[in-house]
Structure 1
Amino acid sequence: MARPVPLLLLESATALSGIGNGVVIVALPWLILERTGNAAIAGLIAACTAVPLLAASVFAGTLVDMVGRRRIAVLSDVLSALAVLAIPVADLTVGLSVGLLLGLAVIGAMFDPAGLTARETMLPAAAQAARWPIDRVNSVHESVWGLAYLIGPGLGGVLIARVGAVHTLWVTGVCFLLSALLVRFIAMAGVGHPPSRPANVRQAVLEGLRFVWRDRLLRTLGLLMIALIVLYLPIEGVVLPVYFQSIAAPQRLGATVMAMSAGGIAGSLLFGVFVSRVPRRATFIGGVVLSGLALLGMSFLPPFPLLLAFAALSGLAYGPVNPLANYAMQQRSPERLRGRVVGLMSSSAYAAGPAGFLLAGPLVQGIGVKPAFVMLAAAFLAIALLTTALPVLRELDRPA
């Protein structure tokens, strides 16, 4: 008998966590720019979160395999909530200096990879409980993420205009706490105590690293995703906030990020519909190349309606990419290693965005918004075109 409740709880928690992070995407850079007026400082603070993210990405999957998926998901959301809520609390009490803001941002970033990994590893069990094909679940999961990032940045832009950037972060904390509450009630096989717990953390980490590196498809997809996200997320997190702040239009910032997310939702859902009719390799290559072309169109900062159209097209084209990466991880990793494989793949890519801020902040400060945007978009497109010359991607079309 089909049991859709675990999948519903999991995706609801994913949505709340994503909304919280979506608010942070626009609120934190805006807060930093509001307090310092310096894009380079905004980029530096964001980049400083890359070090703990990178370290956390290595150990997140191991923790999931050792402690259990549900426990880590709940703990991660609770700790993320406390770190985010400390920012407005500090502002109301001791005062919010740049150093304190940096410290809290770093602490908050440390917990995200574990929660992301834990929820991702629950997807196959949730699909089995609901009696849904795994491609359909991946499609829905990525669409939920897209919906969350559609709501979150838009909500963040509206709240910044109404109550200010620092008080907007109260919403993020509440979202994380509600996500933890929902995950706590997920009951299905494979989410509690791990069936085979690694005895040694170091050996467990190395085993996961070796597995991912020796699998040619996973290694290639992992490196590609890191390279693309290094260029993509700083566009949302540095370039667009600086541009829209320069024209005093926070609502337009939210609307632009929302357009990218709306396109991503549509792209993910279309992937679930047409995955059996279109080769996976062609879908992956076509998605990243078309997304790069749309980003290049955005980079010339055309009139706002055209900018929104390019933003939506970029998201639409990129929509199938993450479901395809999820499929590769799920089909090529054994159950006992799934936490480590998902942790290394997903969380390393997740950590790549803040690392790209280290480039984007000084670049914007040094040469201006438009030239920096063009350079980032052109680099994204160049890497996307490289995928056409990678024969290993044909393994996406081979049976599991």
Structure 2
Amino acid sequence: MIFAMTRTEHRRRTPLLLVEAATLLSATGNGVAVVALPWLVLERTGSATAAGVVAAASGLPLLLSSLFSGTVVDLLGRRRTALVSDALSAVSVAAIPLVDTLVELNLGWIVALAVLGAVFDPAGMTARETLLPAAAQAAGWRIERANGVHEAIFGLAFLIGPGVGGLLIATVGPEATFWVTAAGFALSVLLVAAVRLPGAGRPDRPPNGLWRGTQEGLGFVWRDPLLRTLSLITMALVALYLPFEGVLLPAWFVAEGEPARLGAVLMAMSAGAVAGALGSSVAGRFVRRRSLMAAALVVTGLALLGLALLPPYPGMLAFAGLVGLAYGPVNPLANYAMQTRTPERLRGRVVGVMTSFAYAAGPAGYLLAGPLVEWLGLATAFLVLAGALLVAVLIAAPLPVLAALDEPPRYPPAPPGGTTGRSEGPVPLGEQWLPAAHRDPPASR
């Protein structure tokens, strides 16, 4: 009997394990590519400009594709979108050494393959994220716990991915590194193909076209006060936070001649973020979500200001870790809001739209940081960006609309036994049970 119960529990948790294992492999592969692609370009051309062209070519399509990614998920289905995304990544990565063997691998080929691998990444990420509620329900997990683990795994992948890429380049060379990375993406395809969950297949009510579906997602986010506020908060945080990682800290440590310390500070941020995401699933049992969000925002702002004061190296490490730790709960809480305030048929579009806001804010922050450094100097630019972020979070943290994080879910999963109370098994998430107060009136259906 005990053995049978154990096997049953294992089967219930299998979909969640498959989704998270695929997330780890896919995100780690992208982290490896972040290192391997510029390394290959620099090795072949010796041109930093060429490496920048490849980075821009793989990054710019994300701005547009992320906006439509959720609509693609709602058109094709969650499992199918994740499969296509990882398959394209595997093909694009494997094609680099293959093209190099068959014809001369020049910059044009590298740019084209980098774009092919990156353009569908937001859709794959959105698809795996929209599978979480059903996977958590099957495993008997609270959705907050699943969100915290998912964000921690995503952060862990980007923490270890560049390190794995550097190790592979050093041991087997850049060409073989791409073959290993392609194998990781292929394994992710197999894992996602094995996922069996309600709502994972072809949607029953797909959107009416790519653009109209995206408009519907944009409209839904903008009409919901909490989702609209979280989108704006995320945009402000990303725009002011990313320049620290991508511009200011690298410039500071280059001037100091300490590249190894730069890596350690960025790793401390990432490790703190992983711990913060995991901790958010525990903290949610003891504190209100609004309180957790407010504390996360304020402590992130204060810790970033401490880092911007450029203390001695041990202090920088401590503040960097605290920045990541404090910021860790923000994404899981935003995910929870999207999952519980969005009808099942719109979930992909809403996740994709809100993700696209963050993608758009990052380049805006980078464009601001460069001129700011040239105009005010590096040390002052640190303080200006950190001060602006602190002002933003002090305005956002007490906003009354954040209390909606603690409201009952508008679109909860179906209760055990379905809507009738019979033991017919789980109701497909496309036919969710809703409390009477949240059901659409007949005229609007």
TM superposition score category, shorter chain reference: 0.7 to 0.9
Is the 1:46–1:357 contact (alpha carbons within 8 Å) kept by the matching residues of 2?
no
Within the candidate set 104, 120, 127, 1:94 is matched to: 104
Change (3 A) 1:50 1:95: closer
Aligned residues: 397
- Over the aligned positions, Cα root-mean-square deviation in angstroms equals 3.3
Is the 1:84–1:169 contact (alpha carbons within 8 Å) kept by the matching residues of 2?
yes
Q: Could you tell me which residue of structure 2 aligns to residue 202 of structure 1? A: 211
Return the offset for 1:213: 1.0
Normalised TM-score (structure 2) = 0.78
Which letter maps to 2:352? G
Return the offset for 1:100: 6.0
Normalised TM-score (structure 1) = 0.86
Return the offset for 1:19: 1.7
Q: Could you tell me which residue of structure 1 aligns to residue 396 of structure 2? A: 387
- 2:286 matched to 1:277? yes
Change (3 A) 1:29 1:356: farther
Q: Could you tell me which residue of structure 1 aligns to residue 123 of structure 2? A: 114
Return the offset for 1:154: 3.5
Which letter maps to 1:60? S
Q: Could you tell me which residue of structure 1 aligns to residue 80 of structure 2? A: 71
Question: Distance in 1 between the 2:230 and 2:165 partners?
Answer: 32
Within the candidate set 304, 318, 329, 1:309 is matched to: 318
Q: Could you tell me which residue of structure 1 aligns to residue 17 of structure 2? A: 8
Could you list the per-position Cα deviations for residues 282-321 of structure 1 after superposition, in whole angstroms to 9, with x for gaps in the alignment? 2112212212222233334443332222111111101111
Return the offset for 1:333: 0.3
Return the offset for 1:9: 0.7
Within the candidate set 253, 267, 279, 1:258 is matched to: 267
Which letter maps to 1:207? E
Q: Could you tell me which residue of structure 2 aligns to residue 289 of structure 1? A: 298
Could you list the per-position Cα deviations for residues 221-274 of structure 1 after superposition, in whole angstroms to 9, with x for gaps in the alignment? 112112211232343334444555566655444433321121112212221112
Question: Distance in 1 between the 2:290 and 2:153 partners?
Answer: 23
Q: Could you tell me which residue of structure 1 aligns to residue 144 of structure 2? A: 135
Indicate the SS of the match to 1:189: coil
Is the 2:82–2:127 contact (alpha carbons within 8 Å) kept by the matching residues of 1?
yes
Change (3 A) 1:28 1:306: farther
Return the offset for 1:33: 8.2
Is the 1:243–1:369 contact (alpha carbons within 8 Å) kept by the matching residues of 2?
yes
Question: Distance in 2 between the 1:251 and 1:185 partners?
Answer: 41
Which letter maps to 1:398? E
Return the offset for 1:388: 2.9
Change (3 A) 1:371 1:270: same
Change (3 A) 1:373 1:107: farther
The 5-angstrom pairing of residues 1-400 of structure 1 reads 2=9, 3-25=12-34, 35-37=46-48, 42=52, 46=55, 51-85=60-94, 94=104, 96-97=106-107, 103-156=112-165, 158=167, 172-244=181-253, 251-361=260-370, 370-400=379-409
Q: Could you tell me which residue of structure 1 aligns to residue 432 of structure 2? A: none
Indicate the SS of the match to 1:4: helix
Q: Which is worse superposed, 130-139 or 191-200? A: 191-200
Identity of aligned residues (%): 57
Return the offset for 1:354: 3.9
Q: Which is worse superposed, 86-95 or 250-259? A: 86-95
Is the 1:116–1:347 contact (alpha carbons within 8 Å) kept by the matching residues of 2?
no
Q: Which is worse superposed, 48-57 or 114-123? A: 48-57
Which letter maps to 1:64? V
In structure 1, the gaps of 5 or more residues are none
Question: Distance in 1 between the 2:188 and 2:334 partners?
Answer: 24
Could you list the per-position Cα deviations for residues 26-64 of structure 1 after superposition, in whole angstroms to 9, with x for gaps in the alignment? 56677788844579x84x865665542222122111111
Question: Distance in 2 between the 1:62 and 1:118 partners?
Answer: 10
Which letter maps to 1:283? L
Is the 1:150–1:259 contact (alpha carbons within 8 Å) kept by the matching residues of 2?
no
Change (3 A) 1:12 1:191: same
Change (3 A) 1:176 1:355: farther
Q: Which is worse superposed, 167-176 or 212-221? A: 167-176
In structure 2, the gaps of 5 or more residues are 1-7, 410-445
Is the 2:165–2:177 contact (alpha carbons within 8 Å) kept by the matching residues of 1?
yes
Question: Distance in 2 between the 1:305 and 1:315 partners?
Answer: 16
Change (3 A) 1:38 1:13: same
Which letter maps to 2:330? V
Is the 1:153–1:254 contact (alpha carbons within 8 Å) kept by the matching residues of 2?
no
Larger RCO: 1 or 2 (CA < 8 Å, sep 6+): 1
